[in-house]
Amino acid sequence: MLGRLLMEEIRETKDEIRNRIAKTLAALPVSKIEEKIARIENRLFEFANFLEANIVLLYINSTSEVNTLKIIERCFNYNKIVILPAFDTRKHEMILMKVDNLNTDLTLGPRGILEPDPSHCNVVPIECIDIAIIPGVAFDEKGGRIGSGDGYYDRFIPKLSITTRKVALTFENQIISQIQMESHDKYVDIIITEERIIYKI
C-alpha cells in the first residue's frame, strides 16, 4: 500500500514537472528557442563520440523536446546513416528504421508524430547503433530522465549495447535539481545543452 502511494506521488511529481517545463518553453520567444537549438546542434557536431559514429539513432521531436529536423539533415550531409524509431502501440515497442530523406520517408504515426514509413524504410537491428540520441522532457545532472510518460525509451534503453553512448539533447530550462527515478526508469550517459555538456555523475 505504502509502495503504491509512493509510486503515485512520484507520478504526480513527474506530471507536474512536465507541465512546468511545457509552460516555461511555451513562454520563450521563437527566436530564443531557435538560437538555443542552433547552439545545441553545434555542440553535438563538435562532440567526438558523435563525430566518430557512423550509424546514429535520432528522433522526430514532440512538444517540449529539442527540434531535431536540422540535425537530421546535417547528419545526411555528414554521410551518417540515420535511424529513426517507429512506434508499435499494440506491442508498446519501438521499431528502428533507416531513413534517407525526410520529405519522402516519413509518415504520421499513431502518436501524432512523424515516423519512418515501413513501405519506404528498412528495419535496422539495434546492435548496429553506434550512438543513441534519446529524447526527454526533463533531466538531472546524474542522467535521470523524464520522458513523455509512455515508457517506450525506458523499455528500449536496456536493449542497447553497453558500449552505445546514450546522449540527450535538451535546453538548460529542462535541467532540474533531481528526478525521483522509479525502478523502471533509465538513465542517459551524456546531456548536451546550449550551455554545456554534462557527463553522468
CATH architecture for the domain at 2-199 = 3-Layer(aba) Sandwich (3.40)
Please report, for residues 7, 8, 27, 101, the alpha-carbon distance to residue 154 in angstroms, rounded to integers and kept in the order given: 16, 18, 29, 28
Cβ-Cβ contacts under 8 Å for 178 (sequence gap 6 or more): 140, 142, 144
**Which pLDDT score is estimated for 201?**
61
State how far the Cα of 160 lies from the Cα of 68, in Å rounded to an integer. 21
DSSP structural state of residue 92: T
pLDDT at 4: 53
First-to-last alpha carbon distance for the chain, in angstroms, is 33
- Residues with Cβ < 8 Å from 109, sequence gap 6 or more? 86, 87, 115
Q: Where are the domains of the chain?
A: 2-199
Series of mean pLDDT values for 10-residue runs along the chain (201 residues) = 49 79 90 95 96 97 89 97 93 94 94 92 96 94 85 90 95 89 83 94 61
Cell of 58: 535520432
